[in-house]
Amino acid sequence: MKQRLIIIGVLTVLAVGTLYALNISSDASGSQKNGFIRQFVSEVSLPVYAELAVPAQVIGICAIYGDTVFLQTRTPGLIYYTSDFKRLDTIRLQIPPIPKMQSLFFTEVQYPVVYIIGGNARKVIRGNVLKGAMDILDVNTPGSFSHPVFLSDHEMVVRCIDSVTYDALFYKVDLISGSAIREQGISEHLGDAGFIHDGMLGFDITNKQLAYVDYYSNNVTMLDESLHLLKKFNTIDTHSVSGMVVHKGKGSITNKLPPRMVNGINAISEGTLYVMSRLKGDNETDMETVIPIDRYNTSTGEYVGSFYLPFGKKQMPLDFIIKGNALYVLTSSKLIQLDVNNKLILTKPISYNH
Amino acid sequence: MQTRKIIVEIICFLFIVLWIPAAMSKLMNFETFRFQLGQSPYIQHVASFTAIAVPVVEIIIALLLVVGRTKLLGLYASFFLMTLFTGYIYAMLHFSYYAPCSCGGILKLFGLEESWNDHLYFNIVFTLLATVAILLWQKEGSKNAAPYYTLKTESYQ
């Protein structure tokens, strides 16, 4: 018996050693140096104003009007909202059955108007929660789309994957006429179904600028409302080439290698872009209990310092929005309001080199 | 003693039922399996080797478990491979920057959902089963072993 226990122990050590060797040789945990220094504008954790438990089916923040936060769920037409961070109330639109709507949809709230945007269905359901009126609008893009961002009550910009060429391009959609105008010379025609330069699109209503931040490289593209290029700049890391390598098979496109995420979700407000970085700075040791948010001046592209969200990977944000002096963060279980007032002001820009 | 032997035999049978379909599934969908391993942050650099080695080793272990004399060796090998897989899944869940969706469909055979968490629990159970079987295993013909057959002794006048 003793001999067998010893062998079991030795085999366990061997198995752990094999895994350790795999980890060292592959850097699967992402612990290598990334060639940049993160500079912090807040010495202390941002104070939490309020927080509220949310159901697991809440997946995004639709909008904030005054004190009211509207939340998107996994069910089209079901929207939660809270005005006091004490309880959640519900808006439920009885939407008609539309093929492919459930598979990919987004919710936009311009209270009292709610938009349910079907990326695969290429339809927008527009409902007025006060009047009870509802209509269905066509989106004439040449394929499925994602990342819809509203410029006004009838115009939105989307990232569309052409169903013939599989190119991912920006389109400006007019919901009244149904027309979709394609960008010119902004995105590369890669035929990759949007994998390589997948990212997140945001709109700064103050400066009327769109920002598209790549997930797998450090590229940031600034556009105006007519989809003209304003500026391109890089986030502080050194990953200028996309960490997404695709495999084009028969009728399918998928990632060939594990994609290395550089930047996560982001938000843009009053000329500042807030990017949730997925990379550790060379001057950092802990990425388990905190999440860094890097900030950029959208006019100049300059990095203007970072701050930490005071929670770690276990509460990875699904979405966040900056509104005035408040930062609203949605995790899989909570909606959290943090105070960013006067905590993030830099006296001079931080220089960094690529 | 008979109970111990039955438990060991049942566990060996469960492992054979596990290893053979798992290996066959990987070999029959070899390109897909190799491709999916290439998506794993831990294995991408050794994906081609691992794609061949894993099903071959699984078949060898299953054969070891079939033959009475090599059963204990098969159980040790099962324990090692299960510990390796369990650690790998734990690392994918907790430390990896990316987790591809792949488990070869083996969980469906046991009526489970195909998620990384289910796979982790499944592997922990099988690692424990291998440990139990190793500790309960009795060498054939040893003093404590139950006889596989009874010799009839006859006396000749």
B136–chain A nearest CA distance, Å: 9
Q: How far apart are CA A240 and CA A205, in angstroms?
A: 28
Cross-chain residue pair B97–A30, CB shorter than 8 Å:
yes
Share of chain B above pLDDT 70, in %: 78
Tell which of B32, B50, B98 to mutate to test the A interface (max A CBs under 10 Å): B98
Closest CA to A53 of A82, A75, A79, A74: A82
pLDDT at B112 over 50: yes
| Other Cβ atoms within 10 Å of B111 Cβ, number | 6
Q: Which of B45, B91, B97 sits opposite A19 (nearest CB)?
A: B91
Cross-chain residue pair B41–A247, CB shorter than 8 Å:
no
Asked whether the beta carbons of A242 and A235 are under 8 A apart, the reply is no
The residue of chain B nearest to residue A23, with distances taken between CA atoms, is: B42
Share of chain B above pLDDT 90, in %: 48
Cross-chain residue pair A22–B95, CB shorter than 8 Å:
no
Mean pLDDT of chain B: 82
Q: Provide, as residue numbers in chain B, all residues whose Cβ is less than 8 Å from the Cβ of A255.
A: 39
The residue of chain B nearest to residue A313, with distances taken between CA atoms, is: B94
Residues of B with CB under 8 A from a CB of A: 35, 38-46, 76, 79-80, 83-84, 87-88, 91, 95-98, 100, 131, 134-135
List pLDDT tens digits, range B25-73. Answer: 999 989 888 888 888 888 888 888 999 999 999 999 999 999 888 999 9
List pLDDT tens digits, range A315-331. Answer: 889 999 998 888 999 99
* Residue A284, pLDDT score: 84
Q: Provide, as residue numbers in chain A, all residues whose Cβ is less than 8 Å from the Cβ of B79.
A: 8, 11
ipTM of the complex as predicted: 0.83
pLDDT at B113 over 80: no
Instruction: Annotate A112-142 with DSSP letters as a single string.
Output: TEEEEEETTTTEEEEEETTT--EEEEE---S
Q: What is the 3-state secondary structure (H, E, C) of B25-80?
A: HHHHCHHHHHHHHHCCCCCHHHHHHHHHHHHHHHHHHHHHHHCHHHHHHHHHHHHH
Per the document, the length of chain A is 354
Q: How far apart are CA B131 and CA B79, in angstroms?
A: 7
The sign of the torsion formed by the CA atoms of A320, A112, A151, A72 equals positive
Q: How far apart are CA A202 and CA A280, in angstroms?
A: 24
pTM recorded for the entire structure: 0.77
- Confidence band, pLDDT 50/70/90 cuts, at residue B115: confident
Q: How far apart are CA B97 and CA A255, in angstroms?
A: 14
Q: Cis omega before residue A112 (within 30°)?
A: yes
- Confidence band, pLDDT 50/70/90 cuts, at residue A349: very low
Asked which of A43-47, A274-278, A286-290, B77-81 is least confident by mean pLDDT, the reply is: A43-47
Cross-chain residue pair B44–A12, CB shorter than 8 Å:
no
Cross-chain residue pair B135–A257, CB shorter than 8 Å:
no
Radius of gyration of chain B (CA): 19
**For residue A184, what are the CA distances in angstroms to A8, A170, A172, A227?**
64, 9, 11, 8
Name the most confidently modeled range: A144-148, A341-345, B89-93.
Answer: A144-148
Higher pLDDT, A78 or A288: A78
Q: Provide, as residue numbers in chain A, all residues whose Cβ is less than 8 Å from the Cβ of B46.
A: 22, 25
Q: Provide, as residue numbers in chain A, all residues whose Cβ is less than 8 Å from the Cβ of B128.
A: none
- Confidence band, pLDDT 50/70/90 cuts, at residue A37: confident
B135–chain A nearest CA distance, Å: 7
Q: Are strands A113-118 and A123-128 parallel, antiparallel or unpaired?
A: antiparallel
- Confidence band, pLDDT 50/70/90 cuts, at residue A143: very high
Q: How many whole angstroms from its chain centre is CA A146?
A: 12
Which positions ≥6 away from A247 have C-beta within 8 Å? A253, A254, A255, A256, B35
Mean pLDDT of chain A: 88
- In this structure, which long-range contacts are made by residues A175-178, counting pairs with CB atoms below 8 Å and at least 24 apart in sequence? A175/A124, A175/A126, A175/A137, A175/A139, A178/A137, A178/A138, A178/A139, A178/A140
pLDDT at B148 over 50: no
Closest CA to B45 of A62, A319, A258, A339: A258
List pLDDT tens digits, range A259-298. Answer: 888 899 999 999 999 999 888 888 887 677 788 899 999 9
Residue type, A13: V
**For residue B137, what are the CA distances in angstroms to B7, B9, B79?**
9, 9, 14
Cross-chain residue pair A23–B91, CB shorter than 8 Å:
yes
* Residue B76, pLDDT score: 97
Cross-chain residue pair B40–A29, CB shorter than 8 Å:
no
pLDDT at A221 over 80: yes
**Burial of A9 (C-beta count, 10 Å sphere; 0-12/13-18/19+):** exposed
DSSP state of B1: -
Which positions ≥6 away from A187 have C-beta within 8 Å? A167, A168, A169, A170, A197
Higher pLDDT, A249 or B47: B47
Asked whether the beta carbons of B98 and B91 are under 8 A apart, the reply is no
- Both tokens assigned to B26: 């990987």
Share of chain A above pLDDT 70, in %: 93
B119–chain A nearest CA distance, Å: 17
Cross-chain residue pair A257–B76, CB shorter than 8 Å:
no
